[in-house]
Amino acid sequence: FPVTILLPGVVMPNFRSGQTPGAWWSTTVVSGVGIEDVQIDLTSAGSVSNGVIFLNAYNSWMRNVHSRWAGQRSHVWMYGSKNITVRDSYFYEGQAHASQSYGVETFTASDCLIENNIFQKVTAPVIFNGTGHGCVVGYNYMREMTYGTPTWMIPSNDHHATGVGYILHEGNIGTGLIFDNVHGPVT
């Protein structure tokens, strides 16, 4: 019978064979696609949730993108994706300024690179909102985080779910880093 080898290997030390771990992969994957040198203005988009979505994507990227007024969720959403790069881009403002008003959001994404971006007036500039590991968040500039509740400012870098690990934060300028257990225990 055929044998599938996962490379690179699973890096989370809390996965053990006695826990009967499983794997999921999509039968429809987009690979090797990118978006570069564009402006995205979502001012009139209304209820559109995200600006750019990497859905079941692999080895893909965005570079030098200017995204304004993201919809009700994120400027960039990585969902079920691996090896995604977001770099050299500018993210300005969100329409909601609510708890789901993100810059770059990962949701079951791994081995991503979020580097050399500017986030201005984005409630939560970088958020790991679902399982993921092996990502690098480096040399981003985050300022004027805006949230609809005047008594709380969400830190610029947020681990917001269980199963998030081996994330390197390096050289960022922002309001802080938070590890919470809203969607499960912190690992």
- The tens-digit pLDDT sequence of the chain (187 residues) is 455 555 566 666 666 778 777 766 667 889 999 999 999 998 887 767 789 999 999 999 999 999 999 877 899 999 999 999 999 999 999 887 777 789 999 988 999 999 999 999 998 999 998 888 899 999 999 998 888 777 877 889 888 887 788 899 999 999 988 887 676 655 4
Rounded CA separation 38/52 (Å): 12
Rounded CA separation 175/50 (Å): 24
Query: What pTM was estimated for this model as a whole?
Result: 0.87
Comparing CA positions, the residue from 148, 166, 149, 168 lying closest to residue 157 is 168
